[in-house]
Structures are given as C-alpha cells and as structure tokens.
Amino acid sequence: MTKLLLIISICLLLFMGVFIFIKRDAIFQEGNPTPYALAASKMMIKEKKIVKVKKEEGTVTYMVKQGEMEPFIKEMTERGWKLEDRDIMGNKFIFNKGNVTLGCGYKYYTRYYTLIYVPSPPSM
C-alpha cells in the first residue's frame, strides 16, 4: 500500500514538473507568478473589480478583468486625476492633474486579466 502511494506521489510530482517546464514561458511571463495568482484569486473570491498587485521601483501594478477598464479609471478619478486620452493602439491611458501628466501603460495578462502599470508621479 505504501509503495503504491509512493509511486503515485512520484508520478504526480513528475507530471507537475514536466508541465511547469513546458509552460514556463507563460507561467513566469511577469517574473514571480505568486502576486498575480493572489490578485486573480482576490478578484474571483472577493469579487473585486480592481486589485493592487504589487509596488516596486516607482511603479504600482493593478489588475482588472480584461476589457473592464472603468474600475481603474474610477480609481484614478477618485485620486484627483482626470482622464485626457486613451491610446488604444499604444495601450496607454493619459491622465492629468494640474500641470502633471501621467501615462499609464497596460497589457493583457492571460486571456482573463489586464495589468495596468502606474508610474509614480513626479513630486509637485
């Protein structure tokens, strides 16, 4: 019985290892996949429209459901930023606040989510 359990465990680990090796480009496309998996689970379980994924080196990354940019625009508007333009070809939002312009790029992450990169605005 214990030999059978050991063989099944080894086969399962081997299968998972081969799967991760084959799909490594998709799994690790943004580096460490853990923050993105946690953000996606928050969106699914807590039914949130927008989730802050991480903050590093002057950039904050947000996740929204693919094609649903309104929660992000609303978040920026609540912070005092005014949407000036959305460049669909360049995948970028342009926001203004006073005399400061902020360009926020976005890209699709899997077929279900969009990642939005918000740079830290220069100090006024």
Residue 50: Cβ within 10 Å count:
19
14-65 tens-digit pLDDT: 998 888 888 777 767 677 778 888 888 888 899 889 999 988 888 999 999 9
Please, is 38 exposed, middle or buried when counting C-beta atoms within 10 Å of its C-beta (0-12, 13-18, 19+)? middle
Predicted TM-score (pTM) of this structure: 0.76
Residue 49: Cβ within 10 Å count:
13
95 and 77 Cβ atoms separated by less than 8 Å: no
63-102 tens-digit pLDDT: 999 989 999 999 999 999 999 998 888 889 999 998 889 9
